[in-house]
Structure 1
Amino acid sequence: MSGRRLRVEADGGSRGNPGPAGYGAVVKDAASGEVLAEVAESIGRATNNVAEYRGLLAGLRAAAAVDPDARVEVRMDSKLVVEQMSGRWQVKHADMRRLAEEARAVLPAGRVDYGWIPRAQNSHADRLANEAMDAAAAGRSWRRGGDAAPGPGPATAAGTASTPGAASTPAAPARGAAAHGEPLDLVLVRHASTALTEQRRLSGRYGEDPELSGAGREEARRAAASEEVRGADVVITSSMRRSRQTAEVIAERVGARVLVDPQWDETDFGDWDGCTAAEVVKRWPAEFAAWSDDPAVAPPGGEALVAVERRVREAAAALRTRWAGRRVVLVTHGDPLRVLLRECLGCGAHMQRRIRVDPASRTLLRLHPDGSSEVLAVNRV
């Protein structure tokens, strides 16, 4: 265990019971009260109790993404959920029983405790839940900060900040360096190889989530020994296994901590996950052609490039603010890496597939507080 304590505050609501429903959850550092992650989502028609359980589940997943080894204190104003999850009351409703089982599986039981708080003390999570429901009523999807974005539709919803369990890079007050115009030196590292990488198969954020192969572990060790990562203040990684494993090797070598941010996860390739490009072209020729021509088109059941761009821009803005004047290693995936590089170069989506980023390669960027950027190196191996 890390010894860290996190606090999850969660809530859910239904306008009709059952009716249009949504949830909200916030993850805080239990000692300082610093907000580390916010999640919210409209879940369609449901009861208050189901929405509250959905909020709990999302909050626990977000806490696990921030620090999978932390102890977590859950605080909710739903006495029903608190008593049931504490084991004092039975869970009789089938939908809630399933959600309760999922919640218990997120973290070991001995590392989570539950407590009731008055509604007034749960206002943060309540506000997030209402923001999500308001956004859905207006035909939009919830985004962190209360800024509702145009609804992406079923194919791209996974790309918004409403994804259950998603957590932004932990927020912090702007450092003095930002005020004085010091840049962020960002080392982008593509994760090292997996068996699917070696077979040139698509591996998206909701697919198999493979671990590093033997060759990949060696690639990660070479990346950790490279001059580009030397002196890093922190290593930030997507929540996907191959990325986290690469980040852990680098962090151990440079003596930095690891922070997990699911906004840097790979694109959701939907039905194409696990396929090679040749297999996709053969089975989905029309869909592949449309996807290749238009960044707003998603793979069947997957995520459009424009959705990936939205979350990458939001995550990159948070990096500029928090880590100004620092050197940060960011371990991520092909598509998010290319998007950020394109943003720095001012290139459109038509360049996305023309940028080569090899496994464990390093790309160096300098991000200035005024929004300008420099590209110092690309695809070093």
Structure 2
Amino acid sequence: MREFVVEADGGSRGNPGPAGYGAVVSDAVTGETLAEESEFLGVVTNNVAEYRGLLAGLRAARALDPEAVVHVRMDSKLVVEQMSGRWKIKHPDMKPLALEAGRVFPADRVTYEWIPRERNKHADRLANEAMDAGTSGRTRAAASPAREKAPAAEVEANVKAGAEVETRAEVKVEAGVEARTGADARAAKSVAAPAPGWAPADMGAPATFVLLRHGETPLTPEKRFSGSGGTDPSLSAVGREQAERVAAALARRGTIQDVVASPLARTRETAGFVADRLGLEVTVDDGLRETGFGAWEGLTFGEVREKYPEDLNAWLADPEARPTGDGESFAETAVRIAAARDRLIAAYAGRTVLLVTHVTPIKTLVRLALGAPPESLFRMELSAASLSAIAYYADGNASVRLFNDTSHLR
């Protein structure tokens, strides 16, 4: 039985940004290079590029000998740990790629090893050459002896499989969900058994989101619906005082590195107090806006119950139900928030970021981090100018560290 070594790498200049991968297949006994693969991928994340490199290397090895034993070496701790079954795969971009990689060879014929970057120079060079070629307008993959020797039907099948993977990834990204499917669970069981002697996983610093609900507006103490489609109220005098207090508290902690706010006036104003105190700029992200409550904007719960009883009952019972008029359902909000979360995690990896937003986005982020059902949104109390915090790790897991802290207001 032949033995191959697959070395793979991927990179993204911007993360996400212009990306490419490189993969090398060599003979495990002689060290002879048997195949090289590289390709420019357009704009994707670093982790997606690494998975694409792994997939290309495994396919090239299978084209050489589908009965071979393969040892994969990569400098990506994330890919090695996930494909070895020690870390869960939750990110919607990576799930389908990992599943496809797990199907190329039977799990008992593939092993994974993490190596330092300096020992992965061949694949790294191919990945950088692919990125250089792509940014200059040349996107064709590098010539590969394995591809030249592979039967035409097999090459066509591989190309179709690759297209299929990309389609599934795009659909999951648009859906913005992270549900672990039965197929994912089966794939996790099918990967190679963990190698002995591994040290505890080092996932690096997480992306930490400190979640700040805006200060009070004139509508807040009256408990009126105030979403994206209403009058867009500014802070009240009480709200401005709350914003000053939270700004002082965050300055004492000294951990905030960036400030991102919803586009609505009350959040931008609250964020401004904090950013001025910390000497930072405010970045606005539309994905963090509050749910739109349609015809319910400005009304109290009792007034909505009186005017739209059937619509309110449906909304309380079904996350797909929309408020009367052009309102946004909780399910639609969750898709938008999940997409914003993933975008911000990629943009602020390893940093502590203050997200100044609203009740529903913060509750939704907490719900998704906990894997809680939609009805949990009605079981959380979130005060004006309160702080919550969630840490997001490289393996896709999240840790809720704080919820509805108002100690700085007392």
Using structure 1 for the length normalisation, give the TM-score. Answer: 0.53
Quickly say closer, same or farther: Cα 1:335–1:210, change in 2 above 3 A.
Answer: same
Of 380, 388, 393, which residue of structure 2 is paired with 1:363?
388
Match of 1:340 in 2: 365
Alpha-carbon displacement from aligned partner over 1:162-185 (angstroms, at most 9, x marks no partner): xxxxxxxxxxxxxxxxx9642011
| CA distance in structure 2 between the aligned counterparts of 1:149 and 1:244, rounded to whole angstroms | 27
| CA distance in structure 1 between the aligned counterparts of 2:173 and 2:261, rounded to whole angstroms | 26
Using the TM superposition, give the Cα deviation of residue 146 of structure 1 relative to its aligned residue in structure 2, in angstroms: 8.7
Matched, 1:210 2:210: no
Quickly say closer, same or farther: Cα 1:277–1:192, change in 2 above 3 A.
Answer: same
Query: Which secondary structure does the structure 1 equivalent of 2:212 belong to?
Result: strand
| CA distance in structure 1 between the aligned counterparts of 2:370 and 2:253, rounded to whole angstroms | 22
Alpha-carbon displacement from aligned partner over 1:173-207 (angstroms, at most 9, x marks no partner): xxxxxx96420111000010000112111111011
Match of 2:248 in 1: 225
Match of 1:199 in 2: 222
Q: Is the 8 A contact 1:187 1:229 kept in 2?
A: no
Identity, % of aligned positions: 37
Query: Which secondary structure does the structure 2 equivalent of 1:185 belong to?
Result: strand
Of 293, 298, 321, which residue of structure 1 is paired with 2:317?
293
Q: Is the 8 A contact 2:203 2:395 kept in 1?
A: no
Q: Is the 8 A contact 2:308 2:324 kept in 1?
A: no
Using the TM superposition, give the Cα deviation of residue 232 of structure 1 relative to its aligned residue in structure 2, in angstroms: 1.1
| 2:375 partner letter | H
| CA distance in structure 1 between the aligned counterparts of 2:253 and 2:235, rounded to whole angstroms | 20
Runs of 4+ residues deviating >3 angstroms: 145-150
Match of 2:304 in 1: 280
Q: Is the 8 A contact 1:202 1:272 kept in 2?
A: yes
Using the TM superposition, give the Cα deviation of residue 147 of structure 1 relative to its aligned residue in structure 2, in angstroms: 7.7
Using the TM superposition, give the Cα deviation of residue 292 of structure 1 relative to its aligned residue in structure 2, in angstroms: 0.2
| CA distance in structure 2 between the aligned counterparts of 1:331 and 1:237, rounded to whole angstroms | 5
Alpha-carbon displacement from aligned partner over 1:198-251 (angstroms, at most 9, x marks no partner): 211111101100000000000001111114863311110000000000001011
| 1:342 partner letter | R
Alpha-carbon displacement from aligned partner over 1:247-304 (angstroms, at most 9, x marks no partner): 0101111122210011110000000000001111111111100000000000012110
Match of 1:305 in 2: 330
Query: Which secondary structure does the structure 1 equivalent of 2:331 belong to?
Result: helix
Match of 2:348 in 1: 323
In terms of mean alpha carbon deviation, does 325-334 or 369-378 score higher?
Answer: 369-378
In terms of mean alpha carbon deviation, does 318-327 or 222-231 score higher?
Answer: 222-231
Q: Is the 8 A contact 2:217 2:239 kept in 1?
A: yes
Quickly say closer, same or farther: Cα 1:278–1:310, change in 2 above 3 A.
Answer: same
Match of 1:270 in 2: 294
| CA distance in structure 1 between the aligned counterparts of 2:217 and 2:289, rounded to whole angstroms | 15
| CA distance in structure 2 between the aligned counterparts of 1:294 and 1:182, rounded to whole angstroms | 37
Rg comparison, structure with higher value: 2
| CA distance in structure 2 between the aligned counterparts of 1:291 and 1:268, rounded to whole angstroms | 13
Structure 1: runs of 5 or more not aligned = 1-33, 35-144, 151-178
| CA distance in structure 2 between the aligned counterparts of 1:229 and 1:315, rounded to whole angstroms | 26
Match of 1:183 in 2: 206
Match of 1:84 in 2: none
Query: Which secondary structure does the structure 2 equivalent of 1:196 belong to?
Result: coil
Using structure 2 for the length normalisation, give the TM-score. Answer: 0.49
Structure 2: runs of 5 or more not aligned = 1-42, 44-169, 176-201
Match of 1:157 in 2: none
| CA distance in structure 2 between the aligned counterparts of 1:377 and 1:269, rounded to whole angstroms | 27
| CA distance in structure 1 between the aligned counterparts of 2:247 and 2:392, rounded to whole angstroms | 22
Matched, 1:255 2:255: no
| 2:345 partner letter | R
Match of 1:72 in 2: none
| CA distance in structure 2 between the aligned counterparts of 1:220 and 1:233, rounded to whole angstroms | 18
Number of paired residues? 212
Q: Which has the higher helix share?
A: 2
| 2:207 partner letter | L
Q: Is the 8 A contact 1:211 1:241 kept in 2?
A: yes
| 1:185 partner letter | T
Query: Which secondary structure does the structure 1 equivalent of 2:390 belong to?
Result: strand
Q: Is the 8 A contact 1:280 1:288 kept in 2?
A: yes
| CA distance in structure 1 between the aligned counterparts of 2:354 and 2:173, rounded to whole angstroms | 30
| 1:361 partner letter | S
Alpha-carbon displacement from aligned partner over 1:352-375 (angstroms, at most 9, x marks no partner): 011111001000111112211111
| CA distance in structure 1 between the aligned counterparts of 2:290 and 2:225, rounded to whole angstroms | 10
| 1:211 partner letter | S
Quickly say closer, same or farther: Cα 1:216–1:229, change in 2 above 3 A.
Answer: farther
